[in-house]
Amino acid sequence: MIDTVIFDMDGLLVDSEPLWGVAMREVFASVGVTLSPELTHLTTGLRTKEVVSYWHDYFKWEGKSSEQVVNEIIDNVTQKIIKEGRPMEGVEYILQYFQAKQFKIGLASSSPLRLITAVLQHFELAPYFQAVYSAEFEDYGKPHPAVYLACAQALNSKPLDCIAFEDSVTGMIAAKAARMTTVVVPEAHNRHNPRYVLANMQLDSLLDFNDTKLDLLIMK
């Protein structure tokens, strides 16, 4: 029986993806690497260390270690989210909806835990979650299902009893690989990506979710 919901964070609960892009471009520029917005989209959904490793293998910069670049990006994006970020449309609605249904609520994100903690506290979302997990502590990040499986285990839930909400293809694949019922809420420019057909349901906004949609998921 479906009684658990697990959310991604960046791009789904908080409008932080553009800020991630800006933060990465600023830090990469300090080592002589120029990334366009199109290039930063290539690594959406990956862990920060995986993004840095990906571009270091390509550009092979010198002067700063990969670890230093990772920490600078995390510090930079955390500051930007706290200063400029905003919740996505329907965040309080969807959390209150599942809270009223007495669902167990978890969060499974590719972001580092210190960033997740800062964001949830800043937007006063932390009280909604019974489990918060970061892929930084897993052997593999999304699209591997590890972080979703760890979050479900912490909630004492079976993966088949979980609904996962995601905004990216990478995250969707992770949730589906965990055998969870998956709802995607892509960015407007990416809604027609044919790969989202793998999800159980696609929405334009968290506000679009309701009892009818929940019933459809339960019956699938």
**Cα 149 from Cα 196, distance rounded (Å):** 21
Cis bond before residue 143 (omega within 30° of 0): yes
Residue from 3, 10, 75, 211 carrying the catalytic annotation: 10
Contact status, residue 43 vs residue 50, Cβ threshold 8 Å: yes
Measured in whole angstroms, how far is the alpha carbon of residue 163 from the centre of its chain?
14
Question: Which residue out of 8, 75, 208, 215 is catalytically annotated?
Answer: 8
Give yes or no: 161 in active site: no
Helix (H) or strand (E) holding 96: helix 91-100
Is residue 139 among the annotated active site residues? no
Distance CA(215)–CA(220), nearest Å, equals 9
Active-site residues, by number, are: 8, 10
